[in-house]
Amino acid sequence: MRHDNIPVDLIDMDTEGQLLHPDSRKPIPRDAVPGFLEDHLRLREETTDIFFHVHGWRTSPDQAEAKAHRLFGLVDTMMAQQAHAYPRLHGFRPQYVAVRWPSAKNLLPLDYYTIRDRTEAMSESGQVPRLLATILGYFNTHRELPEPGPDVFAGAYGQYLHCIGHSFGSRFLLRGILEATERLTMGGPDTLGWNWHDPAYPWTLDSLTLFQAALPADAFGQQPFNAILEANVLNAPVVMTYSPSDTALGAYHRLSEKQVGIGHSGAIAPAEAIANLPLHEIGTSYSFASDKRLINVDASHLFLRGMRLAGGAHSDFYHPESAHLLLCLANAAR
């Protein structure tokens, strides 16, 4: 099925984490980022949900665009086929955004370390935190805070924001969330749907899904990612798929990080913060644990395809079941 007719707004970044103008391909000054995004994305008042996709390692700009169209096309299809499965998404009007970033240095496995370190540098010294904060609404003077009340949406204009990362895109997002949180101090009303809200962050990221995350299995038990369990702009659990058929995050990841990746076997620390679920069939609803900040989703029965020497099932998550998971999380954020 072709999905290239699904509208997707594209954001491009360079190796330094600077946003690039789509015409000139020149970096946009830091102070001009909010205005650029306001004009470029044209976030609409009638939009209910913003889905923000970040691709993984060794993905060209054209591939990144095609993959975003493919994933968001599945979301649209699932919503059209079984809207009844997501009863809180009444009047669902999504907007899809994809970030394209330089995720490869060369064709050699040795660039693993370069790209790992690049995701850190792009967040700490680049514009990734400002990008996330602007989309949330913190730097947009044309928006107002959501009015207080238990049934009011969390985002600016009453929009929910859902972030989706694949592979190294998971590091990109997590680093950006932590950096954005550290830089934001604005207060506001408590209008959040999940359990991890903090009044310091009136606009929040309302779901975070990491497909086959390229992170060590104990990443959330160590610095810096253990900070994601504390109060921050992420008002949702971290949901992570895994499959042992992902050989890129199995033996290959063990060579680089001394242990397998989360996308191979799931997160293992801290144990008290983790819940485990199977990836559900599209006709089955989810019941997400309300007291666990980390959720492993076992996709070993479905994420199977791929050449072993080329990473195995590392990229085999483009299934209706994946879109169903994203919509169930959006439904649960209400």
The residue extents of the domains of the chain are 9-332
- Given a cut of 50, whether residue 192 has pLDDT beyond it is no
Tell me: the pLDDT tens digits for 152-185? 334 445 678 899 999 999 998 998 888 888 776 5
Find the DSSP H helices in 22-93. 33-41, 61-81
Tokens in use for 235? 């008002």
Tell me: the pLDDT tens digits for 202-237? 678 889 999 999 999 999 999 999 999 998 889 899
What's the whole-model pTM score? Answer: 0.89
Q: Return the amino acid letter for 14.
A: D
What is the chain's mean pLDDT, rounded? Answer: 85
- Is residue 51 within 8 A of residue 162, CB to CB? The reply is yes
The arrangement of strands across the sheet holding 49-54 comes to 9-12, 94-100, 49-54, 160-166, 207-211, 238-242, 294-298, 274-278
DSSP state of 236: S
Residue 297's DSSP bridge partners are: 241, 277
- Listed in sequence order, the residues at least 6 apart from 136 whose beta carbon sits closer than 8 Å to its beta carbon are 155, 156, 161, 180, 203, 204, 205, 233
Which 3 state secondary structure label does DSSP give 94?
Answer: strand
Residue 12's DSSP bridge partners are: 100
In the chain, DSSP assigns E strands to 9-12, 49-54, 94-100, 160-166, 207-211, 238-242, 274-278, 294-298
- Dist. CA 138–CA 122, nearest whole Å: 20
- Rounded to an integer, the average pLDDT of 297-322 is 89
- Given a cut of 50, whether residue 117 has pLDDT beyond it is yes
- Given a cut of 50, whether residue 147 has pLDDT beyond it is no
Total Cβ atoms within 10 A of residue 189 = 13
